[in-house]
């Protein structure tokens, strides 16, 4: 069934963005419009998820052009959950920004750029055509370039340059990959590709193309050895921006990896899955180790983004329904918790006026709400029950045990310790212990800043407590992903 | 360098700096360029042409004026804020897509009709043209905003450099931030 509803998660931020352009001089209007649209987007995303769960995969054919010629947009359970999380994170970021972002940025299209980024994210999640995916990626990236550079501080510009260069490189490889794909099969519709790619005789060519796509999505998802840009560039901009980047952007890359390597590149699977597995393990371990030697608050968190992407990658690499479900659960958990931790980091840095852990100390005495909020987020990230992080790891361990991957189990547990170590390190240095005289520069409005992160931490707790129904949904999403025929049938349902 | 600085401080330095030939010919050329843009726009969506390329060409016309007469002239003559042109263009295209939704069709569904007028012959009228009009506004507005923004920041930097001290060489490219 074709329905415009599929497009609704994109149209809402898009319409908002246009309205924001008209009112760009009035910060008050910008805030009201963004806030209202954020709430509408969340409500809409919940409804969309509900529809997908009751009616199955929804497909939209733009302008009534049928596949494989027209543009298709597909929402299955996986995409619907991610759309919901995008809306939630977008809303939390917008509300956090009200008390965090300075006037100068607000006047310079800040909210507009956030909305455009949400358009790009949602577009990437629901694109059913790989060239379309490229376009949404570009929308997302161009907004992210400007958001990173906005403010024009010297450090910020330096890191933005690295970020831009790497992403432009990856995008050009994306185009090369698309060209090869089109030359090999004559189509760019993902469902059509899923049919045609296994029929190609020269499967090593397909392997080559898949490695190009692995490079492209891998550099956006920050997997080993393409992660070097991430920790520095995410530590520079204001916390609201680095939170939405850390929570969402890398996950878009992971989403694309999961989508393409379960739908399209499944012909010669052992080679590519082994590669993914090794890269996943390396990403996990090096991300965790990288965090240990850091003393900058947000850099530690950024290294843990990398480490967690590794978990998702090995979930994909083991490619059973259970491990893919675990990878998805990990993504959802990580989006929520990581964003909240970045908000806590932002609030802490604003209070103490520095991002260096060694100069902070004893903030728990004066700011207990902040400190305990961070603590809960931190242990959730490390995987302590009853938070969502525990169930993510549990699912992953179950999946690995099912197919007898002892090494995977070992690394899942070992890197969990590294995460716990880093979180405790931040907690001990920054909040626990003697109060340092230098700390506490500005406390204005810090309570309002804690609303968004606390709600997200609570959400993580709820996801942990309600894990039975949520795991059911995730398993359903993974079952859909594991069977490409469902996707193909949904896309071509109007023709047959 | 010093010469250039003095020039930049006078209000219409670009007009002084540029040659008379450019100055004179541009006043006529702009109409031709805009006419070409107009032609390409209507040549439209089924043939080479359309909103995007027409937008680029119109932007080129405005930027040519900007280069010839300077930013002062542009700000006093074209007081319109081109950022709104982008917003208007986006809303036209968006409205074009949403109209289909209101009629119960998939987003961005287009339609066309062929009118036959006695003198002009058959004319194809397509809703895609409206969408193209939006694209035209976005592209032309966006280009002008981008180019003027680059020009302004350069001028601001130069002015800033002048204000500091005459001895410090903030203006030379060597000391600018890498």
Please count the structural domains in chain B: 1
- pLDDT for B126: 80
Tell me the pLDDT band of B13, cut-offs 50, 70 and 90: very low
Residue A151 has pLDDT above 90, yes or no: no
Contact A144, A230 (CB under 8 A): no
Domain segments of chain A as ranges: 4-491
Mean predicted confidence (pLDDT) in B64-68:
85
pLDDT of residue A65: 80
Determine, yes or no, domain membership for B175: no
Distances in whole angstroms, Cα of residue B44 to Cα of each of A263, A310, B2, B31, B133: 38, 49, 49, 20, 10
Burial of residue B70 (number of CB atoms within 10 Å: 0-12, 13-18, 19+): buried
Gap between the Cα atoms of A160 and A126, Å rounded: 28
- Contact status of B108 with chain A (Cβ, < 8 Å): yes
Report d(CA A138, CA A175) in Å as an integer: 11
pLDDT tens-digit profile of A275-314?
A: 899 999 999 999 999 888 888 888 899 999 999 999 999 9
pLDDT of residue B169: 38
User: Which pLDDT score is estimated for B165?
Assistant: 40
Alpha-carbon distance of A302 to A231, in angstroms, equals 5
Q: Confirm whether B43 is domain-assigned.
A: yes
User: What would the two tokens of residue A30 be?
Assistant: 């910008």
| pLDDT, average across residues B113-136 | 81
Minimal C-alpha gap between B151 and chain A (Å): 17
The arithmetic mean of pLDDT across residues A111-131, rounded, is 93
Q: Is residue B80 within 8 angstroms of chain A, CB to CB?
A: no
pLDDT of residue B16: 54
pLDDT band at A150; cut points 50, 70, 90: confident
Model confidence pLDDT, tens digit, residues A232-263 = 888 888 888 999 998 898 899 999 999 999 88
Q: Give A342-385 pLDDT, tens digit per residue.
A: 999 988 888 887 778 888 877 788 888 888 899 999 988 888 88
Residue of chain A whose alpha carbon sits nearest to that of B90: A18
Q: pLDDT (tens digit, 9 = 90+) per residue, A199-230?
A: 888 888 888 899 999 999 999 888 888 888 88
Domain holding B6, by residue range, is 2-168
**Of A432-441, A475-484, B24-33, B103-112, which range is least confident?**
A432-441
pLDDT at residue A94 tops 50: yes
DSSP run (H or E) holding B98? helix B82-102
Give dist(CA A355, CA A352) in Å, integer: 8
> Quick check: ipTM above 0.85?
no
- Interface contact flag, B105 A64, Cβ < 8 Å: yes
Please state whether the predicted TM-score (pTM) of the whole model is above 0.90: no
- Whether residue B173 is contained in a domain is answered as no
Cβ density class A416-448: b for 16+ within 10 Å, e for less: bebbbebbebbbebbbbeeeeeebbeeeeebee
Interface contact A63-B177, CB threshold 8 A: no
SS (H, E, C) A326-390: HHHHHHHHHHHHHHHHHHHHHHHHHHHCCCEHHHCCCHHHCCHHHHHHHHHHHHHHHCCCCCHHH
Q: What is the mean pLDDT of residues B57-69?
A: 88
Distance separating alpha carbons of residues A317 and A367, to the nearest angstrom:
43
* Spatial distance between the Cα atoms of A431 and B81, rounded to a whole number of angstroms: 49
Per residue in A318-327, pLDDT tens? 888 899 999 9
Mean pLDDT value of segment A39-66: 89
Cβ <8 Å between B106 and A157: no
CA distance A59 to A126: 9
Is residue B11 in some structural domain?
A: yes
């Amino acid at each position: 069934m074709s329905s415009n509803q599929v497009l609704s998660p994109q149209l809402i931020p898009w319409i908002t963005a246009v309205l924001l352009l008209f009112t760009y001089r009035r910060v008050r209007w910008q805030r009201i419009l963004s806030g209202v649209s954020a709430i509408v987007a969340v409500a809409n995303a919940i409804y969309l998820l509900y529809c997908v769960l009751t009616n199955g995969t929804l497909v939209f054919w733009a302008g009534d052009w049928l596949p494989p010629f027209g543009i298709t947009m597909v929402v299955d359970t996986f995409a619907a959950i991610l759309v919901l999380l995008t809306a939630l994170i977008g809303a939390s970021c917008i509300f956090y920004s009200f008390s965090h972002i300075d006037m100068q940025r607000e006047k310079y299209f800040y909210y507009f750029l956030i909305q455009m980024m949400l358009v790009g994210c949602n577009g990437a999640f629901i694109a059913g055509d790989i060239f379309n995916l490229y376009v949404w990626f570009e929308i997302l990236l161009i907004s992210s370039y400007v958001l990173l550079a906005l403010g024009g501080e010297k450090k910020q510009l330096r890191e933005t340059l690295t970020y831009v260069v790497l992403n432009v490189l990856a995008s050009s490889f994306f185009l090369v990959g698309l060209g090869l794909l089109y030359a090999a099969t004559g189509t760019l519709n993902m469902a059509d590709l899923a049919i045609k790619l296994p029929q190609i005789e020269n499967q090593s060519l397909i392997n080559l193309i898949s490695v190009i796509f692995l490079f492209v999505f891998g550099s956006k998802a920050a997997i080993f050895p393409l992660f070097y840009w991430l920790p520095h560039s995410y530590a520079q901009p204001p916390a609201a921006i680095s939170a939405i980047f850390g929570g969402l952007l890398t996950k878009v890359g992971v989403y694309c990896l999961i989508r393409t390597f379960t739908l399209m590149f499944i012909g010669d699977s052992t080679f590519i899955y082994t590669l993914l597995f090794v890269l996943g393990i390396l990403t996990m371990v090096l991300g965790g180790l990288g965090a240990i030697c850091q003393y900058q608050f947000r850099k530690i968190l950024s290294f843990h983004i990398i480490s967690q992407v590794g978990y998702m990658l090995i979930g994909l690499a083991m490619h059973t329904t259970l491990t893919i479900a675990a990878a998805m659960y990990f993504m959802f958990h990580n989006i929520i918790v990581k964003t909240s931790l970045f908000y806590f980091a932002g609030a802490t840095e604003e209070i103490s006026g520095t991002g260096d852990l060694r100069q902070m100390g004893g903030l728990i005495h004066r700011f207990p709400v902040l400190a305990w909020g961070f603590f809960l987020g931190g242990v959730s990230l490390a995987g302590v029950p009853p938070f969502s992080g525990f169930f993510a790891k549990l699912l992953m361990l179950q999946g690995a045990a099912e197919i007898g991957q002892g090494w995977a189990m070992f690394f899942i547990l070992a890197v969990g310790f590294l995460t716990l170590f880093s979180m405790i390190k931040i907690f001990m240095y920054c909040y626990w212990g003697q109060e340092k005289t230098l700390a506490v520069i500005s406390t204005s409005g810090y309570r309002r800043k804690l609303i968004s992160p606390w709600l997200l931490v609570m959400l993580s707790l709820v996801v942990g407590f309600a894990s039975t129904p949520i795991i059911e949904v995730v398993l359903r999403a993974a079952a859909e992903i594991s069977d490409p025929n469902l996707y193909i049938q949904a896309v071509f349902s109007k023709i047959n | 360098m010093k010469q250039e600085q003095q020039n930049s401080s006078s209000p219409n330095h670009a007009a002084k700096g540029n040659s008379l030939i450019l100055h004179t010919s541009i006043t006529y050329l702009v109409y031709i360029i805009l006419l070409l843009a107009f032609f390409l726009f209507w040549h439209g969506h089924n043939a080479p042409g359309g909103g995007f390329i027409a937008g680029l060409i119109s932007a080129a016309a405005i930027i040519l004026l900007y280069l010839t007469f300077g930013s002062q002239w542009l700000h006093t003559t074209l007081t319109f804020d081109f950022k709104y042109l982008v917003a208007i263009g986006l809303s036209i295209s968006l409205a074009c897509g949403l109209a289909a939704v209101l009629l119960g069709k998939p987003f961005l569904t287009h339609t066309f009709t062929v009118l036959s007028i006695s003198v002009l012959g058959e004319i194809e009228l397509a809703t895609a043209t409206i969408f193209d009009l939006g694209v035209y506004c976005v592209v032309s507005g966006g280009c002008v905003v981008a180019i003027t923004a680059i020009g302004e920041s350069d001028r601001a930097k130069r002015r800033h450099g002048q204000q500091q001290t005459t001895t410090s060489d903030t203006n030379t490219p060597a000391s600018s931030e890498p």
